[in-house]
């Protein structure tokens, strides 16, 4: 179906195309009806004329019989107007042949034959006309041939007068037959297209040059809310889409004909044979898609837990503000000790904690400021147009809001203001640096970014990069300090102590980089490297005939990581070290971390010894010692260093030794530098000692040399 054909069909083709014309009519009309009626009338008249000629031409019985036969054919046409069986076709052929033989002229027979073949051509069946009509045509040709055979002389004019109408009859009716078949095919196609147009969710309308709908389907009527009289298709500019001068007719546009409905409207030209061109409009309901996109956009722009701006959207807002304002203030807010809440009370309580904190941050904001969640317990506030003084004042207001109410939230707040030429990433980095300074200074305070902070942060970042390189590149070395049995003076084990051979800086002790490793999370891969080295060295000593255990310091953060236990098992299995030859040394801070304590219990259950370092210098708790027994309790050097100078300290050391004995643990005194200290500890019942008196930390090669000299 061509576009021009639809435009010209109007009401006559409305039903076939599934479209409604401008008056709303759907009345169907068969385009072959009038042709079929006229053809049938002519066929009956031709048949009646043949019957009359047969009856008036004489009284012969043959004419009467032939007249009856023709009447029988006419009756079959009446009874079954759309179907002629083979019997009717044969009877027609017999009647035609007989009539040609008995009548003096062929014109009545040709009229009958023309009517019969023409009405059969209108049936348009694939074999109905081409085959069945040949029977009647053959009868005519056969009868005419017999007539000629009885003549002494054949007149060519007579032959031409009889044959040429027959040839015209054949060509004309074949042409009519093909025409009918083409019309039927188009009708079938129109019905198919009509069904598709009615079933499609797309609203379709044909508009004239004035924008008036000439044809439309039911979906278009429903979408545009047309009543009995079709209205028009309005573009977003409030005028008819065809007459819009802003390009709506050339581009897809979205319109909202009523609340909650959004249509995507596409327009295309339809050429007309006569008159101005029309336009076809296709409308698609995109309401659900727009709602879905809005939901996705909201999900992307909003943090699902707190309702604040998401990290990605917040950074987008920062970039926009920096492009539109001369100064932009930015705060980074990090909740202090949130990890303790999450670990102690669970994630559900932690989520409620974050929601409450976010509500307080939001409540402290002026109208122009926007709050976002950067991730975890870290929030940010964007303040377009705020200078340094306004930004610091806002930071204090946010902190005051968090600190207020019955359940205060401690937080570290960093404030920064955009500088000339700065970008969003740089502004966020400055505020983040100031926040870390606030946290380093004790937390629950505000710090404004200063340039020297940035320099310190860059140096810290370089240290972090270098430390990561050191871990991966073999710059870490492990030294071992002997632990001596005070009763026998024999070396029984060694404590593994990590050093950093930093290029250009020399050999650095742990105080120079362990804090950085803890802060950045590099303590996990660093600790694994030390553990691998120490376990491997213990196995090598055993191969050399030296039955030495090894002690490795493990941080609370390492213990709390989910993969610590599998890593530990893999390391001792790969090294081939018996679990009881390894001692894991921890500090009292482990008691404040529930996941770390669970890992420590599992370590001891695996047969690995556990030592408590620096006992008595932190938040010691006898209840923890009783609940989580240790294999070794280490007496800190701050106590042993005071031996011989402070009688109270000696009493404390005796108490620690006695307490460890009650708990079934051995004691190791650290920092022993004189024989007098060693003798006093031996007499007090201390089991082991380590310090410069017995040997400084040294690498494995020095231990091997010492072994050959009897150390």
Give per-residue pLDDT as tens, 265-288.
Answer: 888 777 776 667 788 888 888 777
Within 8 A by CB and 6+ apart from 481, the residues are 494, 495, 497, 690, 695, 696, 697, 698
Mean pLDDT of the chain: 80
Q: Are 358 and 307 in contact (CB under 8 A)?
A: yes
Least confident range from 158-162, 181-185, 269-273, 534-538: namely: 158-162
d(CA 429, CA 435): 10
Give per-residue pLDDT as tens, 4-28.
Answer: 333 333 333 443 455 565 544 454 5
pLDDT value of residue 119: 75
Helix residue spans in 25-131 (DSSP H):
33-56, 61-79, 86-102, 107-123
pLDDT value of residue 568: 94
Confidence of residue 83 (pLDDT cuts 50, 70, 90): low
Least confident range from 8-17, 523-532, 629-638, 649-658: namely: 8-17
pLDDT value of residue 145: 61
pLDDT value of residue 20: 60
| CA-closest candidate to residue 318, choices 472, 246, 425 | 425
Q: Are 531 and 476 in contact (CB under 8 A)?
A: no
| CA-closest candidate to residue 632, choices 612, 655, 605 | 612
Rg, Å, the chain Cα set: 52
Q: Are 213 and 12 in contact (CB under 8 A)?
A: no
pLDDT value of residue 341: 75
Within 8 A by CB and 6+ apart from 527, the residues are 552, 554, 555, 558
d(CA 471, CA 516): 13
pLDDT value of residue 301: 74
Sole residue written with tokens 């002026």: 366
Question: Is 342 in a helix, a strand, or coil?
Answer: helix
Give per-residue pLDDT as tens, 392-415.
Answer: 999 999 999 999 876 788 999 999
Question: Is 303 in a helix, a strand, or coil?
Answer: coil
What is the pTM assigned to this prediction? 0.48
How far from each other are the two terminal CA atoms of the chain, in whole angstroms? 105
Give 477: exposed, middle or buried? Use CB within 10 Å, 0-12, 13-18, 19+: middle
Give per-residue pLDDT as tens, 127-141.
Answer: 555 666 667 666 666
d(CA 505, CA 336): 34
pLDDT value of residue 290: 72
Give residue 584's region: left, alpha or beta (phi > 0; psi -120 to 50).
Answer: beta
Q: Are 572 and 566 in contact (CB under 8 A)?
A: no
Residue 170 predicted with pLDDT over 80: no
pLDDT value of residue 159: 62
pLDDT value of residue 160: 65
Within 8 A by CB and 6+ apart from 101, the residues are 143, 146, 147
Confidence of residue 557 (pLDDT cuts 50, 70, 90): confident
pLDDT value of residue 4: 35
Question: Is 606 in a helix, a strand, or coil?
Answer: coil
Give per-residue pLDDT as tens, 305-350.
Answer: 998 998 888 999 999 999 888 899 999 999 988 877 776 677 788 8
d(CA 371, CA 374): 10
Residue 214 predicted with pLDDT over 80: no
Residue 444 DSSP symbol:
S
Q: Are 466 and 508 in contact (CB under 8 A)?
A: no
d(CA 40, CA 118): 9
Within 8 A by CB and 6+ apart from 331, the residues are 380, 381, 383, 391, 394, 395, 398, 413, 414, 415, 431
């Amino acid at each position: 179906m061509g576009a021009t054909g639809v435009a010209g069909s109007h009401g006559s083709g409305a039903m076939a195309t599934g479209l409604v014309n401008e008056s709303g009519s759907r009345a169907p009309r068969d385009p072959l009806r009038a042709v079929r009626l006229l053809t049938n009338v002519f066929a009956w008249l031709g048949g009646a004329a043949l019957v009359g000629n047969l009856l008036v031409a004489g009284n012969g019985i043959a004419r009467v019989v032939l007249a009856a036969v023709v009447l029988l054919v006419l009756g079959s046409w009446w009874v079954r107007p759309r179907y002629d069986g083979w019997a009717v076709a044969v009877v027609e052929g017999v009647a035609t042949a007989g009539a040609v033989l008995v009548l003096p002229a062929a014109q009545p027979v040709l009229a009958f034959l023309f009517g019969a073949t023409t009405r059969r051509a209108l049936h348009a069946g694939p074999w109905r006309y081409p085959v069945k009509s040949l029977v009647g045509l053959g009868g005519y040709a056969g009868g005419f041939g017999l007539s000629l055979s009885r003549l002494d002389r054949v007149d060519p004019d007579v032959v031409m007068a009889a044959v040429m109408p027959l040839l015209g009859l054949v060509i004309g009716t074949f042409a009519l037959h093909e025409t009918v078949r083409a019309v039927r095919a188009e009708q079938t196609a129109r019905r198919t297209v009509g069904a598709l147009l009615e079933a499609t969710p797309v609203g379709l309308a044909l508009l004239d040059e004035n924008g008036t709908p000439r044809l439309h389907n039911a979906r278009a009527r429903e979408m545009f809310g047309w009543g009995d009289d079709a209205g028009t298709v309005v573009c977003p500019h409030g005028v008819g889409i065809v007459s819009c001068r802003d390009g709506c007719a050339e581009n897809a546009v979205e319109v909202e004909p009523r609340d909650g409905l959004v249509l995507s409207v596409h327009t295309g030209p339809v050429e007309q044979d006569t008159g101005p061109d029309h336009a076809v409009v296709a409308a698609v309901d995109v309401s659900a898609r727009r709602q879905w996109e809005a939901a996705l956009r909201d999900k992307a722009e909003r943090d699902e837990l707190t309702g604040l701006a998401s990290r990605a959207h917040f950074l987008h807002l920062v970039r926009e503000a920096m492009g539109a304002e001369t100064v932009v203030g930015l705060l980074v807010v990090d909740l202090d000790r949130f990890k303790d809440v999450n670990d102690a009370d669970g994630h559900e309580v932690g989520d409620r904690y974050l929601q409450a904190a976010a509500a307080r941050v939001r409540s402290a904001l002026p109208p122009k400021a926007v709050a976002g969640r950067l991730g975890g317990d870290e929030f940010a506030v964007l303040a377009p147009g705020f200078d340094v003084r306004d930004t610091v004042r806002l930071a204090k207001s946010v902190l005051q809001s968090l600190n207020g109410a019955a359940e205060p939230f401690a937080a570290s707040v960093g404030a920064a203001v955009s500088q000339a030429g700065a970008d969003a990433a740089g502004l966020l980095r400055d505020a983040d640096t100031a926040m870390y300074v606030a946290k380093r200074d004790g937390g629950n305070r505000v710090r404004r970014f200063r340039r020297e902070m940035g320099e310190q942060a860059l140096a810290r970042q370089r240290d972090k990069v270098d430390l990561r390189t050191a871990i991966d590149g073999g710059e870490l070395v492990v030294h071992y300090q002997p632990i001596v049995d005070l009763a026998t003076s024999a070396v029984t084990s060694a404590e593994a102590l990590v050093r950093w051979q930093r290029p250009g800086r020399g050999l650095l002790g742990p105080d120079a980089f362990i804090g950085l490793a803890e802060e950045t999370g590099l303590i996990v891969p660093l600790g694994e490297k030390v553990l691998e080295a120490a376990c491997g060295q213990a196995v090598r000593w055993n191969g050399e005939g030296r039955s030495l255990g090894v002690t490795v310091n493990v941080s609370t953060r390492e213990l709390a990581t989910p993969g610590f236990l599998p890593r530990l098992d893999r390391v001792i299995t790969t090294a081939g070290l018996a679990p009881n030859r390894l001692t894991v040394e921890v500090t009292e801070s482990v008691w404040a971390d529930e996941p770390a304590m669970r890992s420590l219990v599992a370590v001891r259950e695996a047969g690995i010894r556990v030592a408590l370092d620096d006992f008595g210098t932190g938040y010691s708790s006898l209840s923890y010692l009783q609940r989580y027994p240790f294999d070794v309790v280490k007496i800190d050097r701050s106590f042993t260093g005071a031996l011989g100078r402070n009688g109270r300290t000696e009493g404390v050391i005796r108490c620690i030794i006695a307490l460890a004995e009650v708990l079934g643990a051995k004691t190791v005194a650290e920092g022993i530098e004189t024989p007098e200290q060693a003798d006093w500890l031996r007499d007090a019942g201390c089991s082991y000692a380590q310090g410069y008196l017995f040997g400084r930390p040294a690498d494995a090669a020095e231990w091997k040399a010492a072994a050959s000299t009897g150390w």
